[in-house]
């Protein structure tokens, strides 16, 4: 229903998605409600037989009720990973890279048979970012997932 409500930015101002529909349960519920209203508005303009059929399909997708619906949701998450990989060409800040990986890992959660596809796209993205930063993928992964704040041991 993005034609009606727009494609909501999952990254948000912080670049982490923590305050958007991507990872905030309240924002997810608000977006889903907007999508429900958009489906109802759209189908209200159709003849009754078409309205019923299309509403059923759109709500099935929105709710992820069937294997087919979960497949579509998974492909949508993989598409976002592929889009960022191509658009950014490896030039990404850590917080956006972390967001992209966390957001797109929903794909195999929705549809486990796409795990290999997710792994391939993730690998390609990490390779591009590492190449751009002139470092190995292993070093990139360590910097993303093992970075810790250093604390000063002197009294201030």
Contact 156, 135 (CB under 8 A): no
Confidence band of 121 (pLDDT split at 50, 70, 90): very high
> What are the phi and psi torsion angles at 4 (to 5°)?
-85, -45
The average pLDDT across 49-74 equals 96
pLDDT of 124 > 90? The answer is yes
Measure the CA–CA gap between 20 and 18, rounded to whole angstroms. 6
Task: Report if residue 53 sits inside a domain.
Answer: yes
Single out the residue in 63, 82, 97 at which a domain terminates.
63
For residues 131 and 129, give the distance between their C-alpha atoms in angstroms, rounded to a whole number: 5
Query: What's the CA gap between 72 and 59, in Å, rounded?
Result: 13
Number of domains in the chain: 2
Domain hosting 94: range is: 67-145
What is the pTM assigned to this prediction?
A: 0.81
How long a stretch of residues is the chain?
156
Most trustworthy range by pLDDT among 2-11, 93-102, 108-117: 108-117
29: in domain = yes
């Amino acid at each position: 229903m993005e034609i009606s409500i727009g494609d909501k930015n999952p990254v948000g101002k912080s670049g982490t998605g923590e305050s958007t529909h991507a990872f905030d349960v309240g924002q997810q519920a608000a977006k889903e409600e907007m999508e429900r209203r958009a489906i109802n508005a759209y189908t209200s303009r159709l003849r009754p037989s078409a309205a019923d059929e299309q509403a059923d399909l759109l709500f099935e997708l929105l709710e992820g009720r069937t294997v087919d619906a979960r497949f579509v949701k998974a492909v949508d998450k993989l598409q976002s990973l592929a889009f960022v990989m191509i658009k950014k060409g490896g030039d990404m800040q850590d917080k956006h890279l972390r967001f992209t990986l966390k957001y797109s890992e929903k794909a195999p959660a929705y549809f486990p048979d796409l795990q290999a596809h997710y792994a391939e796209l993730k690998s390609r993205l990490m390779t591009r970012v590492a190449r751009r930063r002139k470092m190995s993928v292993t070093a990139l992964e360590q910097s993303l997932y093992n970075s810790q704040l250093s604390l000063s041991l002197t009294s201030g």
